[in-house]
């Protein structure tokens, strides 16, 4: 089969999922470089929520006044970046190849996002049953399962469950999102009591207000988790 690979590449060329130019990888070198530059440009960021800050403090004013339940966050780019279109095609047009593209992008940027990873578990944000049945896949898990992590980090796709399906986040303000999230998540029975004193990564495709991550972090900390990090592909940033 490998002898036919050059012919297959010629007849069925790979398009970059971001710029849609013909390339050898699902994310071309130029788009990869652009996203690495975006990470570099926000080198001075809040260590908790990840938004860029211009002061020498490690945390933004909002995280000082109203600290999130999660302890830290990482993301590749802002929700307004060119990655948004690829993410929409992935989620709403079922372009599943984009999952591998986002995993590849994360792995290629990992040295800038988090050179050292200390965690026990990675858990994807779950979908409600009806949305999962409708979409056919959990977009967060499809990306997370191919992220390269130390072998000591266990990836568990079904530790967290979700009650019902929330309204689209874009239709809700911050207070409504928080209220909607309360009591929505739960631990599946076989994982109860297993996260005490553990360090956990929670992975999602997008973070807007942080209500989902706060709700899951609160759940995990009630179970005794020591540290919860929020990892997302795209992050909604406040307007300058």
The CATH number of the domain covering residues in 14-235? 3.40.50
pLDDT score for 42 = 85
Question: How many Å is the maximal CA-CA distance in the chain?
Answer: 61
At 11, the pLDDT band (50, 70, 90 cuts) reads very low
**Which pLDDT score is estimated for 83?**
96
Q: Is residue 194 scored above 50 in pLDDT?
A: yes
Residue 1 pLDDT greater than 80, yes or no: no
**Each residue of 99-145: pLDDT tens digit?**
999 999 999 999 999 878 899 999 999 998 889 999 999 999 999 99
- Residues of the chain with pLDDT > 90, as a percent, come to 69
Q: What are phi and psi of 12, to 5 degrees?
A: -125, 75
Average pLDDT for the chain: 88
Does 169 score more than 80 pLDDT?
no
- The residues spanned by each domain of the chain are 14-235
pLDDT score of 117: 87
- pLDDT (0 to 100) of residue 120: 97
pLDDT tens for each residue of 199-226: 999 999 999 989 999 999 999 999 999 9
Report which of residues 43 and 162 the model is more confident about. 162
Pick the more confident residue, 141 or 57: 141
pLDDT classification of 12: cutoffs 50, 70, 90: very low
């Amino acid at each position: 089969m490998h002898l036919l690979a050059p012919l297959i590449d010629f007849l069925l060329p790979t398009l970059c999922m971001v710029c849609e130019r013909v390339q050898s990888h699902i994310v071309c070198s130029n788009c990869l470089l652009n996203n690495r530059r975006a990470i570099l440009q926000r080198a001075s960021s809040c260590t908790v929520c990840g938004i860029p800050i211009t002061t020498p403090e490690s945390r933004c004013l909002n995280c000082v006044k109203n600290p999130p339940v999660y302890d830290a966050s990482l993301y590749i780019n802002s929700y307004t970046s060119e990655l948004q279109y690829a993410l929409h095609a992935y989620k709403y047009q079922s372009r599943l190849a984009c999952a591998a593209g986002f995993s590849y992008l994360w792995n290629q940027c990992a040295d800038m996002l988090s050179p050292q990873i200390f965690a026990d578990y990675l858990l994807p944000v779950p979908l409600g049953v009806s949305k999962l049945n409708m979409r056919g896949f959990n977009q967060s898990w499809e990306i997370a399962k191919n992220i390269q992590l130390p072998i000591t980090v266990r990836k568990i796709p079904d530790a967290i469950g979700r009650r019902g399906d929330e309204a689209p986040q874009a239709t809700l303000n911050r207070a409504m999102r928080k209220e909607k999230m309360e009591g929505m998540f739960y631990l599946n029975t076989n994982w109860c009591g297993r996260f005490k004193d553990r360090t956990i990564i929670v992975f999602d495709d997008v973070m807007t207000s942080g209500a989902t991550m706060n709700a899951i972090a609160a759940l995990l900390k009630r179970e005794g988790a020591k540290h919860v990090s929020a990892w997302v592909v795209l992050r909604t940033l406040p307007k300058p």
